[in-house]
Structure 1
Amino acid sequence: MNVDWQAVFVPSVPILETIVRGTVMYLVLFVILRITFKRIGSSSIGLGDVLMIALVAASAQNAMAREHVSVTDGILLVATIGFWSYTLDWLGHRVPRFQKFYYPPPLMLVKNGRLLPRNMRQELITEDELLTQMRRQGIEKIRRVREAYMEGDGSITFICK
């Protein structure tokens, strides 16, 4: 059994190219997902987290399976993805202009017991989905809701009358 140590550890692609490819893919996917799915739907995991997990898994798999990349290429790509994940999270906490994109503001879905269909369409939430969330929080009738908001993390907050 022979191990091709050069194929394992010597980058098969120029280092800068790996960094640029990782950067472009992370940023493009982040923007596409932020525009398409403004809210992930869970307060415990965010869009950046989901993207990081998916890209790291794909990058690591290629390096482990020796599909056209060395281990060094895979490590470099994972490090690049990790860098951008941390950097965007850092910007989201410290740069006001970026915060609005990274952490979407709440969107009102109900006002004074009345649904706001335009806002619900914007977030692709149906009346049934909203009523389900209401019931989960122990609210029986929509007329009892003064305001309901789709939060930046995808959860729905109800303020009763």
Structure 2
Amino acid sequence: MPDWNAVFVPSTPVLEIFLRGTITFLVLMAMMRAAGQREAGGLGITDVFLVVLVAQAVAPGLVGESHSITDGVILAATVILWSLVLDAVAYRWPRLSRVIKARPRLLIEHGRLNHKVMRRELMTRSEVTVQLRLHGIEDISQVQRAYLEPNGMISILRQNRTETDEPARPEVL
């Protein structure tokens, strides 16, 4: 017969779970903001490994000695709560939004690379030209403005055009 208390009754004090989740979430958010935007775009295999390793590294600090389902639910609710709170704060107070949320960064203006942004995001010229080619642009002089977006993608406004170009999608055979 299952021990229902062990399954559903929290094995760790709820306040401790909440504090562990809060501190870990806020510290990881700060670390991700400091790491820059470029890393948020697409996940390669090393990125997936990094996510798994970070999750493994913080798991003991998040859960402590907890074992019940309720402990996990409380922890998940804490992380979701803080995500919603930060979104609400950024929406309500735009000045705080600049600290909480990433903003688009001007990467190219009138065909000239912004080397300061490239240095900050650790982007090489060849990485930028790859992104331009994905948008069907062979010459940087064709770009009026290009932004490194908060999700890590690059949006491009061509010279003499106002709409953005979508990256080319691979054709399915």
> Fold-level match, TM-score > 0.5?
yes
Deviations 1:70-113 (A, max 9, x none): 11111111111111111112222222122112332222222222
Find the counterpart in structure 2 of residue 46 from structure 1: none
Report the secondary structure of 1:72's partner residue.
helix
Deviations 1:10-40 (A, max 9, x none): 2111111111111111111111111113351
Counterpart check, 1:73 vs 2:104: no
Find the counterpart in structure 2 of residue 150 from structure 1: 148
Q: Measure the CA separation in 2 of the matches of 1:105 and 1:18.
A: 32
Counterpart check, 1:28 vs 2:27: yes
Report the secondary structure of 1:93's partner residue.
helix
User: How far is the alpha carbon of 1:122 from its aligned partner?
Assistant: 0.8
Find the counterpart in structure 2 of residue 114 from structure 1: 112
User: How far is the alpha carbon of 1:137 from its aligned partner?
Assistant: 1.1
Q: Measure the CA separation in 2 of the matches of 1:113 and 1:97.
A: 31
Amino acid at match of 2:153: S
Report the secondary structure of 2:108's partner residue.
strand
Runs of 4 or more consecutive aligned structure 1 residues displaced over 4 Å after TM superposition: none
TM-score by length of 1: 0.76
Q: Measure the CA separation in 1 of the matches of 2:36 and 2:18.
A: 26
TM-score by length of 2: 0.71
Report the secondary structure of 2:132's partner residue.
helix
Find the counterpart in structure 1 of residue 5 from structure 2: 6
**Unmatched segments (≥5 aa) in structure 2:** 43-50, 160-173
Deviations 1:26-81 (A, max 9, x none): 11111111111335126xxxxxxxx9xx97xx97xx99xxx742111111111111
**Unmatched segments (≥5 aa) in structure 1:** 43-50
Find the counterpart in structure 2 of residue 48 from structure 1: none
Find the counterpart in structure 2 of residue 91 from structure 1: 89
Find the counterpart in structure 2 of residue 126 from structure 1: 124
What percentage of residue pairs aligned between the two structures are identical?
Answer: 41
- Conserved? CA contact 2:11–2:68, under 8 Å: yes
RMSD: 2.5
User: How far is the alpha carbon of 1:160 from its aligned partner?
Assistant: 2.1
